[in-house]
Amino acid sequence: MSDGSKPKMESGIGQRRAQARGQQNAAYADRRSEILAAAAKLFKSQGFRGTSLVHIADQVGTDRASLYYYFSSKEELFDVLVTDVVKKNLATAEGIRDSADPAPEKLRKLIVGLMESYAEHYPFLYVYLQENMAHVAPKRQAWARQMRQVNRRYETAITDIIRMGIDEGSIKAAGEPWVLAYGVMGMVSWTHRWFNPNTSEVDARAIGESYAEVILAGLAAERG
């Protein structure tokens, strides 16, 4: 038999949390941002499963109970960190795909834009790259399914751009479009192993331009 007082306590905290968010309190928002930043740092260094709310609380100089005033769970922290950014990147990729630019220019914009997004939202997107969507807790399955759909749409956008280039004759058919798309994503995403915008001697845009130049040079169709 469960303790009847626990749901009441959690409900009370949840109500206070919802009320605080609705009031648009600057101090509350700043503290949430501080907790998010601390969580992102720990998720990146220790992984999602290796990080606990106690670790996050210690990082921001509070206790676990106090965190519940800002976030309901570790899962909510992670989801808030990455969901909106990942969806925004998808919208950007699909907008580039649907533009009137030639395929090589679309691919360049996508590569540079993704790299810049990694820097702008550092380390949130890199934390997301480390998360295995196939191995999440049952209570996060709905979120994981949503994110897998977003991932597939992003992959499709890149694949479509490459296929367009092959069809228009600006990109050579060096392999299946989806294989080339995965190669592009892998090259840019691997920067999670070494790139830190706060310490890198080369900024994100320059890295993106370099990668785009290499990729496009390799995929450029020969002109007869």
pLDDT tens column, 33-77: 999 999 988 988 888 888 999 999 999 999 999 999 899 899 899
CA distance 59 to 72: 18
DSSP assignment string, 62-103:
S-HHHHTTT-S-HHHHHHHHHHHHHHHHHHHHHHHHTSSS-H
Find how far residue 43's CA is from the centre of its chain: 13
Contact indicator for 107, 212 with CB cutoff of 8 Å: yes
- The pTM of this model reads 0.79
The sign of the CA dihedral 30, 36, 41, 46 is positive
Strands (E), the chain: none
Residue 199 exposed, middle or buried by CB count within 10 Å (0-12, 13-18, 19+): exposed
CA distance 118 to 177: 24
CA distance 85 to 142: 18
Q: What is the pLDDT along the chain (224 residues), one digit of tens a residue?
A: 334 434 444 557 777 776 666 666 888 889 999 999 999 889 888 888 889 999 999 999 999 999 998 998 998 998 888 898 999 999 999 999 999 999 999 999 999 999 999 999 898 898 888 877 767 778 888 888 999 999 999 999 999 999 999 999 999 999 999 999 999 999 999 999 999 999 999 999 999 999 999 999 999 987 65
CA distance 52 to 57: 9
Q: Which two tokens stand for residue 219?
A: 């995929």
CA distance 43 to 53: 11
Residue 191 is classified by DSSP as G
Tokens 């309190």 correspond to 25
